[in-house]
Each structure stands twice: as C-alpha cells, then as structure tokens.
Amino acid sequence: MNEADAVVIGGGPAGLMAAGELAQAGHRVMLVEAKTSPARKFLMAGKSGLNLTKDEPIEVLLSHYGGAQRWLEPMIRAFDAEAVQDWARALGQTLFTGSTGRVFPTVMKGSPLLRAWLAELDRQGVVRHVGWRWTGWEADALRFQTPAGVQLVKPRACVLALGGASWARLGSDGAWAVILAEQGVRLTPFAPANAALALDWSPHMTPHFGAAVKSVAWHAGPLQARGEAILSARGLEGGGLYPLTPALREGLPLYLDLVPDRSAADIADRLARPRGKTTWANHLRRVLKLGPVKTALLQEFGRPLPQDPETLAQLIKRLPVAHAGLRPLDEAISTAGGVAQEALDDGLMLRSRPGTFCAGEMLDWEAPTGGYLLTACFATGRWAGQAAARYLDKAATR
C-alpha cells in the first residue's frame, strides 16, 4: 500500500498544474500517468506550434466558453492569459504574440516547456509513476494496474485529470466515465468538439486535396467564424470550422461566404461586367479573384451555376456546404461532455465522493482552438489543486 497526501491521476496540463499547486502547499504528492510518458496530447498539439493562450481582454476570452462561461469564469479570472504567460516565462520560456493575439513559445514547440515544468515538479518533490492505469476504487484506496501488478494507494485527497474522449492513442480514451458513472456521478455524454467535417467529394476536387481555403467566412446557425480550412480526401478541417462544431453537432446547415469582404451587391455588379467569350470560371477568377480552390468549391456545391449575376452573387455569399456530419469522436481535437457541473462543488470536488476533485477536459465544457483549450485546462487544474490543498489543510486541523 503506497502512501501520499494527495494523488493526481493524469499527466496532462491540468494534472501537472494540480500537482504543482498541491506540492507548493507543502503536501506529499504522487502523480500517476497511464502512458509511459506524461502530456502526450500536449506535445502533439505543440508540434505545429504550441498555442498557450489568447492575449485578449478577459471578457472576450471568457465569451469563447459558451454555456460553461459562468462556471469557468472565476477559475479563468484567477489564471487568465496574462497569468499563463507569466507562468511560462517563470519556467524559462520566451514567448511571442501573433497578429491574432495567439501566444506561443518562441521555439514553437511544447517539449522545452514540458521539460522545465517536470523539472520544477521534481524539485517540489512530486513523485511520478508512469504506466499506471487507474481502474477505480477498492474500499477507500485507489486501485492501479501497473507493470508490477495491482497497486493500491490510499491518499487523503485525489485529483482526477483524465482528459476527454478523443485521441485515445495519446491517453484520452474516456474510460474513466464508466468508473464515475458506477459511483453515481452525473455525466454529460461525450460529443466531438473542434472536429473535422466528413465530405464525399466529387472526382473533380481530387487535385485540390491538401489545399487551404483562405479568406472565407463560415456560418452555421447562430455561429460564424472567419479562418481557413484544409481540403482532404476525407473532408474539411481547420480553425475556421472548429468554432462551429456546437451548431454542426445539432445538424444545422453549413454555409460558406467565399468573399466575406464584399457585399452581394458589389459582387453582382462585378459579375455583370461583359465577359464576351470568357467562361464563367475564368470570369469569376478575373472579376472576383476567387482562385482555383474557391472556384472549385463553388462548382462543387453550386452546380449548375446561376447565370443571373444577382442570384450567383447570393450563392457566392451563402454557399451551402453539403457534408456527412462530423468526423468520429476519437479524431476530434477535443470533446464536449464529461463530469457535469452539478456533480461538483465550487472547488471542483465530487459531491458524491468527498476528497476527490476533477479538472481539465474531463469536465463538461468546450472551447474552440486558439489558446482557449489550454487556458481552461491550466486554470481548472490550478483551481482543483488549490481546493484539494485546502481540503487537506482543513482535515489536518480536525
């Protein structure tokens, strides 16, 4: 039977943050990770540039958490974009802010930050175990399947930071939901967030696979976003589409504005210019600078193209994108659903199991990419770690 004041289960950003807070408060901390190394999803996300947070006014930042905004607000206000940057710099990282407000390490990778973070946890005395998979409780002890067989740990507090249900190969498989459901914890079903769209393209789109659709606007229900998406054999994916996932999950239609900086009237005037013997495709390229990818999309979803300039202009501004729904849950960048707010107190402790706290993506919230995901994982991990430390301190005085 291993002993520790607190056990943190899950070596992603939320778990690492919770472990640091507990250790800083003077508690003996054991950090347990099911994979052979921590923070695999964090490292994968950083391969194309680790977007730590979004440097923007707090009210704007909070607005990207949708229905969970009020719940997460105190946690994010306590560890906002400025605090995230200060924390990363304290770990020796130099940062820069892009033109859209996204904050990145100068090296653009997550590995240097992770190494410095783990070294700091080592310095604080956090004991790490990898290859330990949590399989539930046995009486009051946590039960783990480890390379050495079953291990039981009986801490006085526990923080669960087990991730969502996407990218299972990196550790977020959502298997913990069955364990918590058996304990009577209220859960919201998992659903894809920041997910790609599945499309059954016609053959004429094949030459454009791998190309980016740029300078466009996307609309689905009440949601809209500007940003690019990548065409692939399986469909469309990219930051321009991801903010619309909540509406697309509900089956609302998707529309594409191919020329968002021009009005329909201006487009119609340009289309009405004499084209002589020029084909419609060449005319579109000449008067609207659509380019081959946008022209191909217009032909894919708008055939047969209207010959009337005003009708065609309306189509260009609101092109219906026929698709087959979101790609599978495990392919999504993140997930909605998880532990419901009602199952937790204000310190993120499970009401049905005192001393057990939850943090990170396993909570029922979602946000678009662009720094919002990591910000909330950091903030909720910190919040849960501090609450767990207070719980231990209070228990010690009884």
The residue type at 325: G
Predicted local distance difference test score (pLDDT) of residue 360: 98
The C-alpha R_g of the chain, in whole angstroms, comes to 24
| Token pair of 302 as six digits | 């708008």
Burial 172-202 (b: 16+ CB within 10 A, else e): bbbebbebbeeeebbbbebbbbbbbbbbebe
Query: Cα dihedral angle (18, 24, 25, 29), rounded to 10 degrees?
Result: 60
DSSP string, 153-192: E--SEEEE----SS-GGGT---THHHHHHHTT--EEEEEE
Domains of the chain with bracketed CATH: 6-192+330-396 (3.50.50.60), 197-320 (no CATH)
* Under 8 Å between Cβ of 323 and 245: no
- pLDDT on residue 282: 83
Angle CA(345)–CA(349)–CA(350) in degrees, nearest 5?
90
| The pair of three-digit structure tokens given for residue 298, joined into one six-digit string | 């217009």
Whole-angstrom distance, CA of residue 257 vs CA of residue 315: 8
- Side chain identity, residue 338: G
Q: Which of 64, 12, 59, 54 is nearest to 33 (CA)?
A: 12
Helix (H) or strand (E) holding 356: strand 356-358
- What's the confidence (pLDDT) of residue 398? 67
The CB-based long-range contact list for 99-106 (8 Å cut-off, 24+ gap) reads 100/370, 101/54, 101/55, 101/56, 102/51, 102/53, 102/54, 102/55, 102/370, 102/371, 103/51, 103/52, 103/53, 103/54, 103/55, 103/371, 104/49, 104/50, 104/51, 104/52, 105/50, 105/52
Amino acid found at 12: G
Q: What is the pLDDT of residue 74?
A: 98
- pLDDT at residue 284, rounded to an integer: 83
d(Cα 226, Cα 152) in Å, to the nearest integer? Answer: 50
pLDDT attached to residue 156:
96
Neighbours of 12 (CB within 10 A): 27
Output the pLDDT for position 2.
Answer: 57
Whether residue 158 contacts residue 355, with contact meaning beta carbons closer than 8 Å, is answered with yes
pTM of the predicted structure, to 2 decimals: 0.93
* Residues with pLDDT less than 70, the chain: 1-2, 398
String of DSSP letters for 84-152: HHHHHHHTT--EEE-TTSEEEETT--SHHHHHHHHHHHHHTT-EEEES-EEEEEETTEEEEEETTEEEE
Distance CA 21, CA 381 (A): 9
For residue 28, count other CB atoms closer than 10 A to its CB: 17
Q: What are phi and psi of 153, to 5 degrees?
A: -130, 130
Q: d(Cα 215, Cα 261) in Å, to the nearest integer?
A: 9
